Amino acid sequence: MDFISSIVIVLIAALIGRSLSKKIRQPTILGELIVGAFIGNIFLLINKEKLFFDDSINYLADIGILFLLFSAGLSLNLKEFKKIETSSTFVATLGVILPFILGYVTGLWFGFGHMAALFIGTSLTATSIGVNAEILIELRIMGTKLGSLIMGTAVVDDIIAMIILTILISIVKTGAIFIWEIGIFLILVLIFLLIAIILSKEKISLFLDSNLEKIKIRRENLLIVGIIVALTFSFFAESIGLSIIIGAFIAGIILGQLNFFRSLQDYVSLVGGGFFIPIFFVTVGMSFNFNAFLEIGLFASLLLIAAIVGKLIGCGLGAKITGFNNRDSLAAGVAMIPRAGIELVLVRLGLEYEIINEEIASAILVMVIITTLITPTALIKVLRK
Amino acid sequence: MDFISSIVIVLIAALIGRSLSKKIRQPTILGELIVGAFIGNIFLLINKEKLFFDDSINYLADIGILFLLFSAGLSLNLKEFKKIETSSTFVATLGVILPFILGYVTGLWFGFGHMAALFIGTSLTATSIGVNAEILIELRIMGTKLGSLIMGTAVVDDIIAMIILTILISIVKTGAIFIWEIGIFLILVLIFLLIAIILSKEKISLFLDSNLEKIKIRRENLLIVGIIVALTFSFFAESIGLSIIIGAFIAGIILGQLNFFRSLQDYVSLVGGGFFIPIFFVTVGMSFNFNAFLEIGLFASLLLIAAIVGKLIGCGLGAKITGFNNRDSLAAGVAMIPRAGIELVLVRLGLEYEIINEEIASAILVMVIITTLITPTALIKVLRK
C-alpha cells in the first residue's frame, strides 16, 4: 500500500478508535490499539498475509513515541520527581526482581532449560512506558506525585532491564559475562543521567532563562528547537544502549524547567496527539497477531499471570512500603503491567541462538498483547476511584 | 546516516537558514534552500559522494509540501479566487505558451532534434507552486486578489503542463498521440475540479456546518480530520495524474469555507512550519548539485533566460491584460519563475529514451536551481514596494 493511503487508513482507524473509547469512557489509547488490532487481524484472516504498509508509517510511529515521551517529560513536575527518586528506584527494583523470578521459575517448571528460563524471566522485566505516559497525560496526573513515581519507576526499570539484557546477550554470544562491558554501560548511563541532572538544576535553568529571555522566537521555531533537543538526547540515549524514548523523556524534563519553553508542551501535544502518536498506537495494535492465541496453552496463561502478578505485587508493594496509600500503590502496580520493547530483541535473539522455541516465543507475544490491552482500562478504573 | 541524526541535521540547517534570512530581511525559505544546498555540496566536495540520508527524510519532506499547500488552501480567500478564475486561466495559458516556445526555439537553434526541443520547451512550462505558497503565507497575502491570482495560475499551469507531459510521454513510448488517453485525463480532471467546486459552494458549506456545529471535537482530532481530508484529496489527485499537492491545496480551500474548521489553519501552520515544511525546503536545497554549474555553457544560460523571461512576460503581460496594476502584474510574473516538479520526470524519461543528452539534462538542472533560488528575493522585493 502506498505512502498516502497507509497514513489515511491508520488515521481513520485512530479516529474511530478514539470515538469508540469516548463512548464507553475508556482511555483513547485502548480504542486505537483495538481498532488497529482489528484491522490488522481481519486483513490477515482474509488475505492470509500481513497488512503491508509503506515503511513511512514505521518512521512516523517512531517519531510518535518520541513525541509522547517528550510531552510526558515536559509536563512532569521535576520537584515531585526528584523527591520521589529513591522510592522510584526501590519500586522499580522490586518490580523487576519479582517478575524475573516468577518467569524464571515458570520456565524451569515447564522443563525448559536454564538459559531459556533466564530469557523468559528477562522478558517480564521491562515496562512499556508509552501506555502509561499516554494515560497519565490524558488524565492530567503527569505532574502529580503519583505520575512522578510511575514515570520514574518506568525509567529505572528500563535501565535495569537493559543491564540484564546486556548480561544475557554477552552470555549467549560468548558464553561468559563481561563485567567490562556492563561496567562501561553503567558508567555511560551514569554520565548521561548526571548531565541530565545538572542541566535540570534550578541554577542552570535560571541562568539559561536569563540568557534566553531576550530572544524573540516564533512558535514554529520554538517547536523546531524543542524537537532538535529531544532528538539529540534520544540519539545519545540510543548510542549508550538505552531506549531512545528515555532520551526524549529526559529532554522534556530539562526543557520543562525553562520559562523560555513554557508554550512548548502545548505545541508538542498538538503535533504528537494530532498526528504522530495515534499512528504509533494504531500500528502497535496492528502488529498484534491474534493467531498466537489459537495455540495458547497452560504455559502462556501462567506466563501472563506471572507478568501481571509480578508487577502488581512487586511495584504495588514497593509503593506501599515507600509510603503511598492503597489506591496509588495499586495504580503504580497496574501502570507497570504493560510490556513491549526489549521482548522483541529477546525473542529474535532467543530464536536465532535456539535458546527458546516457538512455543515460548508465542507465549511472550500473547503476554505482550494482553498486558498492553488490559492496562488502559485497569489503570483508568483505579485512578478514577 | 540514521533516522534521528538525519532529522536533527536537517532541522538545525533550517534554523540556521531561517535566522540568516531574518538578518538580511529575506524570506525564510531562501535561507533554508541555501543552507541545505551548502551542506549538500560541501559534503559532496569532501566525500565525493552525495550526502546519504535515511529514507525517512524524504517521507517527511513529502508530507511537508502537502502541509504547505494544504495550509495555502486554508488561508485562501475563495471569493477572490473564484472572481479571478478566468484571469488565472488566461495568465496561466500565456505563461505556459511563451516559455514553451522560447524553450523549443532555443533547443532547435542549438541544433538539437525536434523531439529534444519539445522536451526542452516542456521543461519550462510548470511552475513550482511550493516556493510561492510559502512566501505568500509569510507575507500574509494569500487571502488577497493577487494571492488568488498567483495560486490559481499555478494550479492551471500544472494542469496544462500535465496535459503536455501526457502527450509527450505517449509520443515517446508509442510514437503516436493518443487523443483517447488525453481525453480521459481531461475528463477526470474536470470531474475532480467539479467535485471540488460543488463542495466549496456556499450552500454546501452552510449545510455541512449546520450538521457539524453540534459536534464537540478536541483540537488534536480536528487536526487528524483535516489531515485525512487533505490526504484523501491528494490521493485522488495523484490517481488521475495531477500532482498530489494540488489535491492538498483543493482540500484546504474546501475546508477553509467551513466554520467548523476555522482553527485548522492555525494548527496546520504550526505542525507544517515547525517540522515538516522546513525539512522539505532544506532537502530541496540539498538536492541542488552545484557541480552542474561547472559545465554551464551558452545553452544553459540561454535556457535560464528563456525560463525567466518566458514566465515574467507571459504571466506578467497576462495579468496586466486582465486588469492588474504594474506592481501586481510584475509580482505574478516573478511568482511563476521557479520550476521543479515535472522536470525530474522529463529528464529521467528523456535520458532513458535517449531523446536528450547529458548537456540538456544538466542545463535543465541549472535552470531549476537558479529559478528557485532567485525567486524568493525577487518576489519579496516586488511585493514590498
Please state, rounded to an integer, the average pLDDT across all residues of chain B: 89
Q: Is A271 on the interface with B (CB under 8 A)?
A: yes
pTM: 0.90
Q: Is the CB of residue B225 less than 8 Å away from at least one CB of chain A?
A: yes
Taking only the tens place, the pLDDT of each residue in B143-174 is 899 999 999 999 898 888 888 888 887 788 77
Instruction: Say if the Cβ atoms of A11 and B227 lie within 8 Å.
Output: yes
Cβ–Cβ below 8 Å for A8 and B274: no
User: How far does B232 lie from chain A, in Å, by closest CA?
Assistant: 7
Please identify among residues 332-351 of chain A the ones whose CB lies closer than 8 Å to any CB of chain B. Answer: none
**Is B227 near chain A, with CB under 8 Å?**
yes
Nearest CA of chain B to the CA of A93: how many Å?
Answer: 31
Give the rounded distance of the alpha carbon of B375 from its chain centre: 12
Is residue B5 less than 8 Å (CB to CB) from chain A? yes
Asked whether the beta carbons of residue B271 and residue A270 sit closer than 8 angstroms, the reply is yes
User: At the topology level of CATH, where does A54-274+290-384 sit?
Assistant: Na+/H+ antiporter like fold (1.20.1530)
- The closest CB to that of A15, out of B4, B62, B224, belongs to B224
pLDDT tens for the 385 residues of chain A, in order: 788 999 999 999 999 999 999 898 888 889 999 999 999 888 888 877 766 777 788 889 999 999 999 999 998 888 888 888 899 999 999 999 999 999 999 999 999 989 999 999 999 998 888 888 888 888 888 889 999 999 999 989 888 888 888 888 778 877 777 788 788 888 998 999 999 989 988 899 999 999 988 888 999 999 999 999 999 999 999 898 888 888 999 999 999 999 999 999 999 999 999 999 999 999 988 888 787 777 778 999 999 999 999 999 999 999 999 999 999 999 999 999 998 766 767 887 888 888 888 888 888 888 988 998 899 999 989 988 7
Q: Residue ranges of the domains in chain B?
A: 3-384
Give the pLDDT confidence score for residue B121 in this predicted structure: 94
Q: Which residues 55-74 of B have a C-beta within 8 angstroms of A?
A: 55-56, 59-60, 62
* A-B C-beta contacts closer than 8 Å: 103
Distance CA A203, CA A196 (A): 13
Range of lowest pLDDT (A105-119, A352-366, B39-53, B362-376)? B39-53
CA B33 to chain centre: 14
What is the least distance, in Å, from the CA of B59 to any CA of chain A?
A: 6
What is the 3-state secondary structure of chain B?
CCHHHHHHHHHHHHHHHHHHHHHCCCCHHHHHHHHHHHHHHHHHHHHCCCCCCCCHHHHHHHHHHHHHHHHHHHCCCHHHHHHCHHHHHHHHHHHHHHHHHHHHHHHHHCCCCHHHHHHHHHHCCCECHHHHHHHHHHCCCCCCHHHHHHHHHHHHHHHHHHHHHHHHHHHHHHCCCCHHHHHHHHHHHHHHHHHHHHHCCHHHHHHHHHHHCCCCCCHHHHHHHHHHHHHHHHHHHHHHCCCHHHHHHHHHHHHHCCHHHCCHHHHHHHHHHHHHHHHHHHHHHHHCCCHHHHCCCHHHHHHHHHHHHHHHHHHHHHHHHCCCCHHHHHHHHHHCCCECCHHHHHHHHHHHCCCCCHHHHHHHHHHHHHHHHHHHHHHHHHHHC
Digit-coded pLDDT (tens) for B319-334: 999 999 999 999 999 9
B60 to chain A: which residues are within 8 Å by CB? Answer: 59
Q: Which CATH number, 3.40.50.720, 3.30.870.10, 1.20.1530.20, 1.10.10.10, labels domain B3-384?
A: 1.20.1530.20
Whether A7 and chain B come into contact, CB under 8 Å, resolves to yes
Cα dihedral B237, B238, B243, B244, rounded to 10, equals 80
Contact of B235 with chain A, judged by CB distance below 8 Å, is answered with yes
User: Is A270–B220 a contact, with Cβ atoms under 8 angstroms apart?
Assistant: yes
Tell me which chain A residues have a C-beta less than 8 angstroms from the C-beta of B12. Answer: 228
Backbone phi and psi for residue B337, each to the nearest 5 degrees, phi listed first: -65, -45
pLDDT tops 70 at residue B341: no
Residue B346 pLDDT > 90: no
Nearest alpha carbon to residue B380 among B134, B84, B69? B134
In this complex, which of A7, A62, A224 lies closest to B278 when CB atoms are compared?
A224
Would you say how long chain B is, in residues? Answer: 385
Q: Which of A227, A238, A244 sits opposite B275 (nearest CB)?
A: A227
Q: Is B264 part of the contact surface with chain A (CB cutoff 8 Å)?
A: no
Q: CA-CA distance, B222 to B262, in Å (whole number)?
A: 10
pLDDT reported for residue A47 = 77
| Chain B hits for A3, Cβ within 8 Å | 59, 62
- pLDDT at position A341 is 64
- Look up residue B87 and give its three cell numbers: 484571469
B59 phi and psi, to 5 degrees?
Answer: -60, -45
Nearest residue, CB atoms, B56 vs list A7, A11, A59: A59
Q: Please state, in angstroms and rounded to a whole number, the distance separating the CA atoms of residues B200 and B89.
A: 19
CA distances from A253 to A143, A229, A249 (A): 11, 11, 6
Q: Which three cell numbers stand for residue B260?
A: 467548523
Q: Whole-angstrom Cα distance, residue B150 to residue B273?
A: 21
Nearest to A8 among B231, B269, B274 (CB): B231
Inspect the interface and report whether the beta carbons of B227 and A4 lie closer than 8 Å. Answer: no
Indicate the DSSP class of residue A51.
P
Residue A52 CA neighbour count, 13 Å, CB half: 5
CA distances from A156 to A67, A84, A134, B233 (A): 20, 12, 18, 46
DSSP for A255-322, written as a single string: HHT-GGGTTHHHHHHHHIIIIIHHHHHHHHHHH--THHHHT--HHHHHHHHHHHHHHHHHHHHHHHHT
Q: Which residue of A has its CA nearest to B2?
A: A235
pLDDT in tens, B213-243: 888 899 999 999 999 999 999 999 989 888 8
CA distance A108 to A39: 37
Tell whether A234 is within 8 A of chain B (Cβ).
yes
Q: How far is A129 from chain B (nearest CA, A)?
A: 20
Contact predicate B243/B158, CB 8 Å:
yes
User: Looking up cell 525567466, which residue turns up?
Assistant: B308
| pLDDT 10s digits, B291-305 | 777 777 899 999 999
B227 contact residues in A (CB cutoff 8 A)? 7, 11, 274-275
- Is the minimum CB–CB distance between A231 and chain B shorter than 8 Å? yes
ipTM of the complex: 0.88
> Three-class SS of residue B339?
strand
